[in-house]
Structure 1
Amino acid sequence: MNQQLPFAGLRIIELASVLAGPQVGQFFAELGAEVLKIESPVGDVTRTWKTSAETVGPAGEVASVSAYFAASNWGKQSVILDLATADGQTSLHRLAATADIILASYKPGDAEKLQADYATLSNVNPRLIYGHITGYGPANARAGYDAVLQAEAGFMHLNAPGPNQPPQKMPVAMVDLLAAHQLKEGLLVALLQREKTGRGTLVQVSLLHSALAALANQASSFLVTGHDPQPLGSGHPSIVPYGTVYRAANGRQLVLAVGSDSQFRHLCTALEQPEWAPTPASAPMLPASRTARRWRPC
């Protein structure tokens, strides 16, 4: 154990699977914590989520685990426990007595059935911090899936290339990752609070609330204007050109991120088109309709 790392000496029990919870566990593992990943006898389902390219390695070998599993479980120690049995529950309680943090991703009600809920484990260890990820909050037993949440929270709508175009999912499980970051923040605050009080606490996040919080300016624009945000693909609702992909005369693709009139004037100078730039006293940046006549997106 590297005593120089900030979480050296912490013990984390991971009762989570797939991506959101394991990402939090890996965060602590990378910074020195001991992370025990509790898996059922069949293992985390992502162990089998291999792409076709992973089935046979460069030397003809078969990969032991998927790249997906490896991306979120580095530095952990796997422990097989069947929490549906009394022996498995007893073993978990023994581990919880020495743990600092529990990471769980059960549907509401499932942890109680397995004797792995906060109320049960905090009786074993009052200093325990319990981080729980659900799909829709502690009062909704509906299972949460990243792709469904991307649709319900509006990300797929906003990510469509334009109006009347099919919605598109993000290429990674973005809502899972957002929830993981929310839980990290909550757990760090809980650790700080425990230093002051000596007691643990329950920290809860949900995929839905994490996704809605991440809508940021798109959500606040709706609250201010009452208008639904519209699909722009990689474009930006407030500034142009920002995020749109263009194709140069030589066929090369490029993306521009211009955040102010000053930057736009520098861009126009670099492109030897100074007449495109507004003067400092004129109107702000060119509207999308005028810019689109001069720039041809891919």
Structure 2
Amino acid sequence: MTEQTAAPTGAPVAALQGIRVLDLSRVLAGPWAAQTLGDLGAEVIKIERPGSGDDTRTWGPPFLKDKEGNTTTDAAYYFCTNRNKRSVAVDMAKPAGQQLIVELAKQCDVLIENFKFGNLKQYGLDYDSLKVVNPRLIYCSVTGFGQTGPYAPRPGYDFLIQGMDGLMSVTGLPDGEPGGGPMKAGVAITDVLTGLFSSTAILAAIQARNITGRGQHIDMALLDVGVACMINQAMNYLYSGENPQRMGNAHPNTLPYQDFPTSDGYMIVAIGNDGQFARFCKATGKPWSDDPKFKTNAARIVNRTELIAMVRQLTVTKTTKEWVEFLEKAQVPCGPINTLADVFADPHVKARGMQISMTHPVGGEIPLVASPMRFSDTPVQYRTAPPPLGYHTREVLKDTLFLSDAQIDDLTTQGVLG
């Protein structure tokens, strides 16, 4: 484990200073968890396959361009979830590579992996093997279906899980409408949520270790996370026995809470209570909040079709910009439907610092999306850009395992290191 050292006077303290993470994961869910810990100050060592590395390095275009403008082999996708990590290229299929990873695991507090169920046992890198050499190790396994149950051996992918966890049954336009049918989310939301739950579980296990002195195995499954994140839709089913249906952008439990057409596009109105609806009606001069059919949210749900038709007739009378300015003054939640160009040009997004840049050894200054976490005393730290494959191999093996240059050169010649 890394030695806990005091920060220089006046320097910000990282929340996870002194925690070392061994990241054996790739693609999104596991790397997202590791990056979150890295943003919080943990040292993260990312193990990658020599020659190819994390799968997402090839998931382009677009690809990173070097300082001369030449296209590299690293895709933009890789850069979304691998900052604050050091890349070590080790072939774990070779016994010498396995031993290097075991030695690194001895020096780490946390290990994150997302190999298929049981795959790491053949390399002696499963939890039962590593807890013998490091009883304090917190070992987080991220799989599609978990370590138990009939589906445990199956590979799991976000798109597959969005179908199996019920999300696609409630996402998309209703059956029978043009374009109706199941629809996945526009990003791999189950992967991201699993990464967040994993980092939360790891932090809890670190605190538990502070009390017990013992590490433990964390079993994270995309399907479990997907089911848990069905939230109100799951509860609606459990209490009613009726399957929720796809409703497009409408909300099953509050109204009006959806997109509406304007004279030049669309906007979102997100009314969450009767007070907001009354303000909406007062501002627009409509008597709907006095009508028993619409006065309460429960009544509005029953009379959804009639009310939505009337609101749509109203909203097409102004532009999106005009409506947003008008309704904001009335304290009615509303907003535009932004493209990503709109997002990063938005003055509030800019004020919150959600786009950052970091210096990459090949690409120079590169853009990245910031962490959303804000701390008053232990701020997120952006120390290193997502690294080229194997960029830190020699550095990590010398600093952490105290290997000599000759030993590293010999392992490289053997094809153990990239």
Regarding TM over 0.5, the answer is: yes
Query: Paired residues, what number?
Result: 294
Asked whether the 8 Å contact 1:2–1:8 carries over to 2, the reply is no
Provide closer, same or farther for how the CA distance between residues 262 and 184 of structure 1 changes in structure 2, counting only shifts above 3 A: same
Taking structure 1 as reference, are residues 227 and 282 closer, same or farther at Cα in structure 2, changes over 3 Å only? closer
The answer as to whether partners of 1:10 and 1:34 remain within 8 angstroms in 2 is yes
- List per-residue Cα deviations over 1:145-187 (Å, max 9, x = no partner): 1011111112122111113412111111011011112111211
Which residue identity lines up with residue 169 of structure 1 in the other structure?
A: K
Q: In the alignment, which of 240, 249, 264 is matched to residue 277 of structure 2?
A: 264
Residue of structure 1 equivalent to 2:20: 11
Counterpart code for 2:131: S
The one of the two structures with greater contact order (alpha-carbon pairs below 8 A, sep at least 6) is 2
Aligned residue type for 2:15: P
Amino acid at match of 2:56: T
Q: For 1:265 and 1:162, locate their aligned partners in 2 and report how far apart those are by CA, in whole Å.
A: 29
In structure 1, the residue corresponding to 2:278 is in which secondary structure? helix
User: Aligned with 1:266: secondary structure?
Assistant: helix
* Contact persistence 2:64–2:76 (CA under 8 A): no
Question: What corresponds to 1:230 in structure 2?
Answer: 245
Aligned to 2:324: none
Structure 1: which 5+ residue stretches go unaligned? Answer: none
| Superposed CA RMSD | 2.2
Residue 168 of structure 1 aligns to a residue whose secondary structure is coil
Larger Rg: 2
The gaps in structure 2 that reach 5 residues or longer are 8-12, 317-418
Shift of 1:252: 3.7
Matched AA of 2:193: L
**Residue aligning to 1:85:** 94
Q: Does 1:50 align with 2:60?
A: yes
Partner of 2:32: 23
Instruction: State the distance in 2 between where 1:34 and 1:213 align.
Output: 30
Alpha-carbon contact 2:190-2:226 (below 8 Å) kept:
yes
Query: What residue is the counterpart of 1:295 in the other structure?
Result: 311
1:246 to 229, 245, 260: 260
> Aligned with 2:71: secondary structure?
coil
Q: CA deviation at 1:2?
A: 9.0
Is the CA contact 1:30–1:75 (under 8 Å) kept in the aligned structure 2? yes
Q: How far off is 1:58 after superposition?
A: 10
CA distance in 2, matches of 1:289, 1:151: 28
Residues in 2 aligned to 1:131 and 1:217: alpha-carbon distance in whole angstroms: 28
Aligned to 1:171: 186
1:155 aligns with 2:167: yes
Residues 1:186 and 2:195 are matched in the alignment: no
Written as runs of structure 1 = structure 2, the 5 A alignment for 1:205-216 is 205-216=220-231
Bigger shift: residues 278-287 or 60-69: 278-287
Counterpart position of 2:137: 128
* Counterpart pick for 1:101 among 104, 110, 114: 110
- CA distance 1:270–1:61, shift in 2 (3 Å): farther
Percent identity reads 33
Q: Deviations over 1:116-144 (max 9, x none)?
A: 11111111111100011111111311000
Local SS of the residue matching 2:219: strand
* d(CA) in 1 for partners of 2:291, 2:6: 57
1:150–1:169 CA contact under 8 A, matched in 2: yes
TM, length-normalised to structure 1? 0.93
Q: Distance in 2 between matches of 1:229 and 1:282?
A: 22
Question: What do residues 206-242 of structure 1 show as CA deviations (whole Å, max 9, x unaligned)?
Answer: 0000000000110111110000010012211011111
* Equivalent-residue separation in structure 1 for 2:237 and 2:105 (angstroms): 45
User: TM-score normalised to the size of structure 2?
Assistant: 0.67
